[in-house]
Amino acid sequence: MSIKIEPLRILIGQTIIKACTEINTLVPLSDLANDNAKGSFLFEIPLQLIFVNHSLLVYNMWRLTGSSLKRIEDLKNVTILSIIVLDQQVQFLLSDKSSIQVDMSDTGYIGPEAMVLYGPNDSIIAWN
């Protein structure tokens, strides 16, 4: 699988003005039909990074590494230095020497999309 990151390159050199997460609870449709799975939920914790003219929502599994940050909100004022793809992961290398790693493999998919980049003039780019 080839991961196209060219549209994300617009974020290189951009500073995060807000970072947050939100816990969403989903009930998989297969569980609705299965009495044995009653009470089964899927939790997703999307990551939202806001920049001056863009915002990036990450729905796939992700993690923040190499940082002494205590809260995701502390990514405010951190700059994206580069974006690379390694082994089905998109890695955002940050100015505080941390990185955000997004699992783009099938097992990392939660949905509704892997990532969505919103830009000026109502532009939307989604990765599945």
Task: Report domain extents, the chain.
Answer: 6-127
- Res. 32: pLDDT tops 70: no
CA gap 74, 96 in Å, rounded: 11
Q: Note the pLDDT of residue 111.
A: 77
pLDDT band with cut points at 50, 70 and 90 for residue 127:
very high
Q: Note the pLDDT of residue 27.
A: 54
Q: Note the pLDDT of residue 24.
A: 65
Spell out the residues 6+ positions from residue 91 whose beta carbon is closer than 8 angstroms to its own.
83, 84, 85, 99, 100, 101, 102
Q: Which amino acid is at 98?
A: S
Q: Looking at residues 72-92, what average pLDDT do you find? A: 94
pLDDT band with cut points at 50, 70 and 90 for residue 35:
low
